[in-house]
Structure 1
Amino acid sequence: MTLISSAERNQLFESFTEDAFHLELRDDYSVPDEEGPFADWLRGVVDNSFMEPWTAMIRRVTGQGKAVRRVRVVTEPHTEYVHWEYVTTTLNEEAGERIRWLPRQDLPGDLVLPVGGNDWWLFDGRILAVGHFDEDGRVLGSELIEDPEVVAEAVRVRDLLWSVATPHREYKP
């Protein structure tokens, strides 16, 4: 399996034409760019400047009429990390991203998640960028998958979860 970096994965935002969708399934992410801001937030210090490269990119692509959506499947009660994500989600949405929440216990009981239950980005319903993590939760990279059957299953799961998840402004943890 060949993995690409997060920066290489983000280049897919330059080439998609209609819709980018992210399925998040983890209750904690050990992303190096977030470690300092998350630790600061735990101490009561808020500095979200680390999000500026992301939100600038999202503003640019959504300003071109492209959709960027995300469903966060989360355990309740939330981990501190998910609580922090909840608080900072307003910045994502102000940039043009649409985010919905789905408590893990509300997942359809017969749902089998594609690609081993890993997180993924789906670009234009044709390319999957599947996230891989080490045993400590650190991002290893993304695997690109274009197999039509795997992608079709991801499209089905995207549509199902988007339809049952709660929009951020309505979700009250």
Structure 2
Amino acid sequence: MTSEPAAFQLFRAAERSALHLETRDLYEPRDPDWNEWRSGGRFDPARRWHVFHDLVRDTTSRGVEVRRARIVSEPISEYVRFEYDVTEPHNLAAGEQVRWLPRQHSAELLVPANDFWVFDAQVVLWNFFDGDGSWVGEERVDDPELARLCVASFDAVWDRAIPHQEYHPS
């Protein structure tokens, strides 16, 4: 039996918000979906990622706000182009709000060194990646003060970031 990811449990328990900050230009270089897209294939995220998108849809239907902010280098990497291409028909369709912040506009912001989720401004779920972008693990921290700092960082990024529908990457 495979255990459910910690984020899934936190989504189900969320009452107000789920915030996600992404800061890398490459994730999971061996991901078959990314590699299929990269080779010109058009895989169906609705079929392959439906468990996550159904979870987000269920979460937002309960009135929980789900926001994702991505800090990206420009010109964008091939991987970020992949993320951009699948965002509207999948993330947005599931109820997420997504914004993009070109890295050059984030210089004055204090941003943690790792990607994170914050649930209900109470729980931080750190995501850890190695140098090539492969996921190596996560750590849940139940610390309202740390969560407050992460929310403040996220909000600073969010306020400067461009909504997905208005962002036209270079």
TM-score with structure 1 length normalisation? 0.88
| Counterparts of residues 18-33 of structure 1 (less than 5 Å) | 18-30=16-28
Tell me which residue corresponds to 2:126: 130
CA 1:148–1:11: 2 relative to 1, 3 Å:
closer
Report the CA distance between 1:46 and its aligned residue: 0.7
Letter in 1 for 2:41: V
d(CA) in 2 for partners of 1:43 and 1:141? 28
d(CA) in 2 for partners of 1:152 and 1:8? 20
Tell me the SS of whatever aligns to 1:125: coil
Instruction: State the identity as a percent.
Output: 39
Q: Given the alignment of the two structures, is residue 151 of structure 1 paired with residue 151 of structure 2, yes or no?
A: no
d(CA) in 2 for partners of 1:89 and 1:122? 20
Which ranges of structure 2 fall in alignment gaps of 5 or more residues? none
Tell me which residue corresponds to 2:35: 39
d(CA) in 2 for partners of 1:140 and 1:124? 25
Deviations for 1:17-51, whole angstroms, at most 9, x for unmatched residues? 0100000001111176xx11211111221112222
Report the CA distance between 1:133 and its aligned residue: 1.6
Q: What is the number of equivalent residue pairs in this alignment? A: 164
In structure 2, which of residues 159, 165, 169 is the aligned counterpart of residue 169 of structure 1? Answer: 165
Letter in 1 for 2:93: E
| Counterparts of residues 32-111 of structure 1 (less than 5 Å) | 35-47=31-43, 48=45, 49-90=47-88, 91-109=90-108, 111=109
RMSD of aligned C-alpha atoms? 1.7
Report the CA distance between 1:154 and its aligned residue: 0.8
Letter in 1 for 2:163: P
CA 1:31–1:121: 2 relative to 1, 3 Å:
farther
**Alignment check: 8 A CA contact 2:57 2:94 kept:** yes
TM-score with structure 2 length normalisation? 0.90
d(CA) in 2 for partners of 1:166 and 1:70? 11
d(CA) in 2 for partners of 1:6 and 1:137? 22
